[in-house]
Structure 1
Amino acid sequence: MRSNSTLTVRQATCDDAGPLITVLVEAFLNGPVADWLVPDLDERRNVYFRYFTHVLHHGLEYGRVDTTSDRSAVAIWYTRDEVPLRAPADHHHEVEKATGRYAPRFLLLDAIFETHHPHAPHDYLAYLAVDPRHQSRGIGSALLTTAHHTLDATNRAAYLEASNTRNRDLYLRLGYRQGEPIHLPTQGPLIWRMWRGQPTDGTPAPFPTDLLPRRRPR
């Protein structure tokens, strides 16, 4: 555990699943990516509840999930030392089951993100969510700072995708570098790729240039 002011950051368990799924749904319910994934707002909450139920349990099983003492925020991390990352065999099926007729967009987003993933070993921040009622209080920064202390101790880099300029600017303040953005198809929104490597001469490490998927030997 790590404390930040009155906030304690700890690793989540299955007992935290219910509240953290709600945080993920509410935090991601509105925005350009949500509009692109599920244009029908009346359907979006139900789709997101099923989808983030899968996302949270996937993170608990295969990654690391951080939360706060009041469970007002959640961060889902994955260790990325293998490119491309091998998803569990049932991942696509679970996404399709959760998202129904919107599955092609969700799976396309997964594929686009994977295509643009850096090769250098790093920890991948797949999701960072703060309950909208608790935003703008430094909670997201506290979660990130705790993770960064762990990464710095082992000389690990971090990578994420930012879906709006407010989040992008937060990551820039926390030592990330911005890479070439992703333009989602069919008039989709802009996604900013962010990299936090070990500082060089007191400045943030440059964004890695090796981005294209490696070809596997035939």
Structure 2
Amino acid sequence: MTSPVITQAVPDDRERVVATFVAAFEADPVLRHLFPGDSYPELAPAFAAHLFDRRVASGTVWLADGGAAVAMWDPPGPATAAPPAASYLPADAAARVDAYDAVIHPHLPSGPHWYLGVLARDPAHAGRRLGRTVMEAGLRRAAADGVPAYLETATAANVAMYRRSGWTVESELDANGVDAWILRHPGLPS
């Protein structure tokens, strides 16, 4: 098996990143809470595009094998100003996104850290360790900056997978009816 090719995303990668996100999170508890029923196929692409657009210019979106897996990170420092969810989602979905964020964000550290906002792998590429490999680019940046990395997940299976990659659980909470875990990683040396 050849090693995956890891690249930084550019704006032209948007369509592939959105497709990977939508395929990867089709059964995710958070995304199904935010976009219930038949709304997922319509709203998840808009949400994924928003997340990509917020991060791509900062050079903190990495792709494995042209987008078979994607990691979208927020670097330390002030967050890039993002349009409110109501600017790209219907009011009811925007309210769910805002409510979920309001529960999660107070559990993240106030000091400098890298935040893994999205780690997605196209299900057609399962078993190749693409997610773990693409995640490592941000973990190396965290170590280089001397700060930890954080993420949140809503599935116990993901918690187990992240633990195998060196993450530790910082807290477990109920995010408006969705179980969620906040995890921390010290970063990977270059």
- The normalised TM-score by structure 2 is 0.89
Q: Which residue of 1 aligns with 2:89?
A: 99
Cα deviation, residue 133, structure 1: 1.0
Ranges in structure 1 where 5+ consecutive residues have no aligned partner: 200-218
Q: Which residue of 2 aligns with 1:78?
A: 74
Q: Map 1:108-123 to 2 at 5 A.
A: 108-123=99-114
Cα deviation, residue 51, structure 1: 1.4
Q: Does 1:142 align with 2:133?
A: yes
Q: Map 1:123-138 to 2 at 5 A.
A: 123-138=114-129
Cα deviation, residue 197, structure 1: 2.1
Query: Kindly, what percent of the aligned residue pairs are identical?
Result: 25
Q: Secondary structure at the match of 1:149?
A: helix
Distance 2:108 2:160 in 1: 20
**What amino acid sits opposite 2:111 in the alignment?**
A
- The normalised TM-score by structure 1 is 0.78
Q: Which residue of 1 aligns with 2:178?
A: 189
Q: Secondary structure at the match of 1:181?
A: strand
Deviations 1:15-58 (A, max 9, x none): 11111111111111212212211221x22111111111111111
Q: Secondary structure at the match of 2:116?
A: strand
**What amino acid sits opposite 2:19 in the alignment?**
T
Distance 2:33 2:53 in 1: 24
- Report how many residues are paired: 187
Q: Which residue of 1 aligns with 2:3?
A: 6
Q: Which residue of 1 aligns with 2:20?
A: 23
Deviations 1:61-113 (A, max 9, x none): 3561000233101111111335xx4x52x511xx2132203110011112222
Distance 2:93 2:7 in 1: 34
Q: Please identify the structure whose Cα radius of gyration is greater.
A: 1
Q: Secondary structure at the match of 1:96?
A: helix
Q: Secondary structure at the match of 1:182?
A: strand
Q: Which residue of 2 aligns with 1:175?
A: 166
Distance 2:187 2:54 in 1: 28
Cα deviation, residue 120, structure 1: 2.9
Cα deviation, residue 155, structure 1: 2.3
